[in-house]
Amino acid sequence: MLKTETALQILKEYAQRPSETMRVAAVKGLSSWGPMHLIPLKEDTSSAVRIEVASGLGKTPTAESALHLRTLISDRSSQAQQTVIQAISDWPDDLAVPLLLDGIQEGVYKTRRQSILQLVSRTGLGGSISIEASQKERVAAVNELVQSGQLPGGFWGQLMQQGLKPEQEVNQGRAAELQSYFQSLLNRSREAPEYQQAYQELENISPAEVKVLEKLIRETSIEIPSEIYTDLLAGLTPEYAALKQLASPHITDRREAAQQLFISSQKISLNPVVVARMRKLMLHEQDRLVWRIVISSVEKDNYDEAAQLALLAINHNWPDIRILGCEYFGTHGLPQYANWLLPLLDDKNHTVQLAAIRAIGQCHNPIAISGIQKAGESQPPTSSLRSLMTHSNRRVRFETVVALSRLGDFAGMQELLRLSNDTQISMRKEAVQEMGLSGQTRFVEPLVQMAWTERNNSTLKEILISLDKLVPDSEQPADLNPQRDQSDQAKIWMNWWQTQHSGQASRLFTGR
């Protein structure tokens, strides 16, 4: 489409259409017109649109683009977060570094990992920050790095100053007063004058003061009386009102409550206190729709209360609810989740079993390869991926090989290589796709060799895509052009490989 005022108006009109596909296409078109036309679309309800906005903003390395990409660093879509980090890989340090630090503080596990790797590559700093640390610890580590003065200056300083401004806080005197009222609710009977006064004072607190109360609840080791949730907090925020409704015996009420919680979660993550209470209410929930909505409301959140809710889900008696829990753990991929998922490798439902295998492959925990050895030599180890390599179900075997490859297991990678030479084109293509998604650079050499000999165009296309994923842009052949014929691209990769293989750089791509 020509770059005319009429074309711009058409794209803007398409960006407001109900069709997600049309809006995504419009964003792609608008990206060439500059960031100002993408900014209004960064709050789109579709994650596919927001992902395209992130990609488009990344094409213009300016302060304006950086400020708006910051809001997408904490997007509810983990793919949108990761798109931001990928989109700024070629940006100058003074613009990119603040966004990488935001990614470390606010992102899900994979976003944090990408952010730290890019930060270390750019500056040589930040390698000691733990990806698995709590958000509080990560924020402290980033602040310490900022205070060191070793990071790039320029726009970086302004952006970080804005980003590190503390939220509006309740002053210490008022916080102490709220704590006193809270203790009265815990320690006095409901008939006591002190209880009545405290309750009346807390009935009209501000949203900022509700956060103080939530912090007190989270830090309290004793069980909180249910009336604090159902009577007091339910009158203060729509989230607690929805929690009260979630306890209804009527299925319609519970579904409405779950939907309200989901709507709230799309604006800002639910408070961990809300999620902890929600988990308690879900202990005996049997309705699949309620479960699906509830899990959707925490799917982007990677704190312990959300993980505990997903843990409850993977132990549910309904298979489709167990699958929801597996999908949550696979999305966030923390190593400790593998231990919780291992028992599901023996699940009698193959769909659950497959979901568990996929999730474990994302958890980066090698303990899943051979399982956990139980106390006592006579005790067999727990379920493991390796034990499923000879499973009677072909799909289970394939997903197991994929998961093992992601974990760097040699036997798994060898089997995936074997499958990439299968007589069935569909199996070859799927194996090649998974090689590209595995992150294992030792697949580069066999993929180059396969590209050289592959005669099926659709399979060759997948081989080239996988090579593009496994080899960093900075290491790829300089003369590689995706517009060229596939056979020409295969020849370019082979020439590149022979050059790489003759020098020290080859070790990066062989796993040696």
CA distance 334 to 243: 28
Question: Does residue 482 lie in a domain region?
Answer: yes
Residues 27 and 153 both lie in one domain = yes
Q: Is residue 349 part of a domain?
A: yes
Domain boundary pick from 109, 129, 163: 163
Confidence of residue 372 (pLDDT cuts 50, 70, 90): confident
> Do 159 and 173 lie in a common domain?
no
Q: How far is CA 446 from CA 176, 347, 470, in A?
A: 65, 35, 12
User: Contact, 53 vs 72, CB < 8 A?
Assistant: yes
In-domain check, residue 97: yes
pLDDT of 33 reads: 77
> Are 154 and 260 members of one domain?
no
Same domain membership, residue 314 and residue 257: yes
Asked if pLDDT for residue 335 goes beyond 70, the answer is yes
Output the pLDDT for position 402: 96
Q: 458: domain range? A: 441-509
List the single range of 135-149, 287-301, 409-423, 483-497 with lowest mean pLDDT: 135-149
Using DSSP's 3-state secondary structure scheme, residue 131 falls into: coil
Residue 9 has pLDDT above 90, yes or no: no
pLDDT band at 447 (very low <50, low <70, confident <90, very high): very high
- Asked, for residue 403, whether it belongs to a domain, the answer is yes
Please count the other Cβ atoms lying within 10 Å of the Cβ belonging to residue 382. Answer: 18
* pLDDT band at residue 507 using 50, 70 and 90 as cut-offs: very low
> What is the pLDDT at residue 409?
93
Residues 41 and 143 in one domain: yes
Residues 361 and 492 in one domain: no
Is residue 404 assigned to a domain?
A: yes
Alpha carbon 464 to chain centroid, angstroms? 26
Say which range, 60-69, 186-195, 332-341, 503-512, has the weakest mean pLDDT.
503-512
Which pLDDT score is estimated for 154?
Answer: 45
- In a shared domain, residues 337 and 299: no
Assess whether 11 and 150 both reside in one domain: yes
The answer to whether the CB of 99 falls within 8 A of the CB of 88 is: yes
Per-residue exposure over 59-86, b if at least 16 CB sit within 10 Å of its own CB, e if not: ebbeeebbbbbbebbbbbbbbbbbbbbe
Distance of alpha carbon 286 from alpha carbon 290, whole angstroms: 8
Is residue 246 assigned to a domain? no
More confident residue, 378 or 360: 360
**Quick one: 447 and 378 in the same domain?**
no
Write the CATH number for 359.
Answer: 1.25.10.10
Same domain, 180 and 290: no
Closest by alpha carbon to 374, among 405, 411, 342, 406?
342
- Same domain for 158 and 12: yes
Q: pLDDT: is 162 or 258 the higher one?
A: 258
Same domain, 297 and 351: no
